[in-house]
Structure 1
């Protein structure tokens, strides 16, 4: 099932069901897409608006990024669920013989990497969006600027949703080199998101002056 085709009410019901999916990762993808949607809204409210003619190019570029991320994140919602299902399937593989045990171990490790890659990708998308929101915060329609602040708060939270899902799957991963690389990259992403977040709040505070 394509979770992005569900109504908001039906998606909430699916999350609340007695089932591990869709869980935090999928919800994080939806929240990130909502943040991108808020960015797109403010860009649209700026383009063609009197007094903002000089920043139309910036807004059109920012709008394109937001729309692309919204589409990408819809796909990532479903990939998150699929990744979890792969892990569960791998753990259910037979382990009656040494050969089966060895094959099961390989499949589990492969599935765990996929389950790490999806929230890792979510963290990258959150970074891409919040960096893009800096432009909208700086030049976007002042009457809607609180929506950019709202989007920034959401994306800041999304990073930690992504991090939680990366780390829980990392606990069972045997590839130490890969784990260290992911942790290092997540640290870089965290720094970039925090920087953009703080700059957005600062710009908005000054514009609201």
Structure 2
């Protein structure tokens, strides 16, 4: 997925195929948010920002790692969703086949819930970095801090829906608790993203 053009990816996203879908789109939202954080941080280097050099360099390094991780999650999500589709296609003519199919579906649903859950956690880190960068970043590109937060918020809220749709079919209590906790964190992530955006807008309006 990371080697496709944007045009090719969007055409595949629009096609009548199981994957990529909303989960991959959520991961790419997160990747864009991380990239924007990295861009603002890179514009916040040099003598003028020497006081915050350590913070900025750390944000650059982490945002780059998050961007790469988000791309991997986009690919993981597409693969996991394909596994769910394949499990539902398994034969069910006999009791043995029905049992094997049910087991495969159960495993694949847990697998499909994990990439979007990881996207939620990653999106939270992007928002936290954006909030940290806001008071020390280059004011000439401060609007991109808000853009990063909004991209991360979209990643988290989109990923939550993808967790929840898989959660509805999962019976394993440990997996349900793990994925449910990830989905439950989204409101706080969205609220923090909103605070960052509002702070940016107030700064722009001065």
TM-score greater than 0.5 by the shorter chain: yes
Equivalent residue in structure 1 for 2:38, among 20, 23, 40: 40
- Distance in 2 (CA, whole Å) between partners of 1:74 and 1:178 is 24
Instruction: Give the equivalent residue in structure 1 for 2:150.
Output: 153
Q: How far apart are residue 110 of structure 1 and its match?
A: 0.2
Equivalent residue in structure 1 for 2:110, among 109, 113, 122: 113
Q: Root-mean-square deviation (CA), in Å?
A: 1.7
Q: CA 1:185–1:79 in 2, change beyond 3 Å: closer, same or farther?
A: closer
Equivalent residue in structure 2 for 1:82, among 75, 79, 82: 79
Q: How far apart are residue 187 of structure 1 and its match?
A: 1.5
How many corresponding residue pairs? 205
Alignment of 1:12-23 (within 5 A): 12-23=10-21
**Contact 1:138–1:204 (Cα < 8 Å) also in 2:** no
Instruction: Give the equivalent residue in structure 1 for 2:67.
Output: 70
Relative to structure 2, which stretch is displaced further, 96-105 or 123-132?
Answer: 96-105
SS at match of 2:24: helix
SS at match of 1:96: coil
Write out the 4+ residue segments of structure 1 that deviate beyond 3 Å after TM superposition: 205-209
- Distance in 2 (CA, whole Å) between partners of 1:154 and 1:164 is 16
Equivalent residue in structure 1 for 2:162, among 161, 165, 169: 165
Equivalent residue in structure 2 for 1:196, among 188, 192, 198: 192
- Distance in 2 (CA, whole Å) between partners of 1:153 and 1:178 is 29
Give the TM-score normalised by the residue count of structure 2. Answer: 0.92
Q: How far apart are residue 149 of structure 1 and its match?
A: 0.5
SS at match of 2:16: coil
Q: How far apart are residue 194 of structure 1 and its match?
A: 3.1
Instruction: Give the equivalent residue in structure 1 for 2:119.
Output: 122
Q: How far apart are residue 164 of structure 1 and its match?
A: 0.8
Give the TM-score normalised by the residue count of structure 1. Answer: 0.91
- Distance in 2 (CA, whole Å) between partners of 1:103 and 1:72 is 33
